[in-house]
Structure 1
Amino acid sequence: MIGLSNSENGIVSSIAATKRLARAMMVSGGEFSLILACCNCVERQQQVLNLLTEFSSADIHEILLSPAADTLYTAITTAIGATQPEALMVRGLESVVEINQLIISTNIMRDEFRKQFQFPLVLWVNDEILRKLVWLAPDFKDWAASTIRFDVPHNQLVEAEQQAISA
């Protein structure tokens, strides 16, 4: 019974977070905004993206970063060319080999994002990437209103596992 309750809570939580994401993209209204979507499971990201089509009519473009990506700005401009999508989702940050360098360069180039992109930019991050953004790109990270979470933070999972083991 507890498993079902937790599962139902997870579904309700995911739907609410997906609606928040759709609303955040809609509110942007053709201007740059940074939205951080935190999800520690890549499969869950895909589920959310599938669900998002039910809550948003926006033409959402998606970029999957290469592990060899060295700057976020260049990866985006190369992928979109001269087009300005209604919204852009960037996935794959967790697979970038030189992630620290990519994040530092993003912070340095942050003003170009506002100048060149007239759409909401959704960065899919996990807890580790989110921590790196806080430490390595605080100015860029501050542009995000709040982080929309799509799963339980890793430290809460560890605590729950430890409580279950000791019970």
Structure 2
Amino acid sequence: MVNYSPGAIALHNRQSMKLLSSLLHKHQQRRSLILACCNDVRWHGAIIRKLRAHCALPLQAVKLPASTRSLYGELHSQGMTYPANGALMILGLDAIAALNRVLLAFELEYQTYPDTPPVPLVLWVTDRVMSKISQFAPLLEEQASDPVRFWAIASAEPPAAIAPSSPPLESCCAGEM
């Protein structure tokens, strides 16, 4: 977690929000891999809620269970359909028990099926997951954009305990895009 002032964190997160929104619009209706990084996973959902409020594209979020063995397999088993003109957000990688194996399989699947998914795929990661991607899926790291980094406010309540428009979230991602 970064130890900057709330104002500096809010400014950084506004810039990150604009960058992520821009990447999603730029890669609309095209397969692309985007890494969104925030080391406090409790903020991932809150940031996505804020992004939905400022991004006109349909954003579909999927939280992977800890028992996931294959990313594409899990999406298929959930009957996943890709949002037209939108993006697919993948959460929960940090909690997967067999993360190394999942990343190896995902890299192979991503290379094998070049048209799937036909939308931007946003992986919500932590620095630990980024390190695992570098180690076990280097081709994915090469194909992905530079990570879009978000910072959490250490003193704020966990987002699960607050409403989407309450002050801690606003201070995390304050301002208009």
TM-score (norm 2): 0.78
Structure 1 stretches of 5 or more lacking a match?
A: 153-167
What is the match of residue 82 of structure 2?
A: 84
User: With CA pairs under 8 Å and 6+ residues apart, which has the higher RCO, 1 or 2?
Assistant: 2
Structure 2 stretches of 5 or more lacking a match?
A: 153-177
- The structure with the largest alpha-carbon Rg is 1
In the alignment, the residues of structure 1 paired with residue 106 and residue 45 of structure 2 have an alpha-carbon distance, to the nearest angstrom, of 25
The answer to whether 1:15 aligns with 2:11 is: no
Amino acid at match of 2:111: D
Summarize the Cα distance change of 1:122–1:6 in structure 2 as closer, same or farther, 3 Å threshold. Answer: same
Amino acid at match of 1:63: V
- Secondary structure of 1:106's match? helix
Amino acid at match of 2:5: N
- Secondary structure of 2:146's match? strand
What is the match of residue 49 of structure 1?
A: 48
Amino acid at match of 1:67: A
Cα deviations by residue, 1:20-52 (Å, 9 ceiling, x for unpaired): 111111111201000000111122212211210
In the alignment, the residues of structure 2 paired with residue 68 and residue 87 of structure 1 have an alpha-carbon distance, to the nearest angstrom, of 24
What is the match of residue 37 of structure 1?
A: 36
Summarize the Cα distance change of 1:113–1:35 in structure 2 as closer, same or farther, 3 Å threshold. Answer: farther
Which aligned pairs between 1:11-160 and structure 2 lie closer than 5 A?
A: 11-81=10-80, 83-85=81-83, 86-151=86-151
Q: Indicate conservation of the 8 Å contact 2:41/2:126, yes or no.
A: no
Amino acid at match of 1:21: L
Summarize the Cα distance change of 1:80–1:33 in structure 2 as closer, same or farther, 3 Å threshold. Answer: farther
TM-score (norm 1): 0.82
- How far the C-alpha of 1:80 sits from its partner, in A, is 4.8
Farther-moved stretch of structure 1 (132-141 vs 109-118): 109-118
Aligned length: 148
Cα deviations by residue, 1:99-141 (Å, 9 ceiling, x for unpaired): 1110111112122453221100000000000001011000112
Higher helix share: 1
In the alignment, the residues of structure 1 paired with residue 74 and residue 108 of structure 2 have an alpha-carbon distance, to the nearest angstrom, of 15
Identity %: 24
RMSD: 1.7
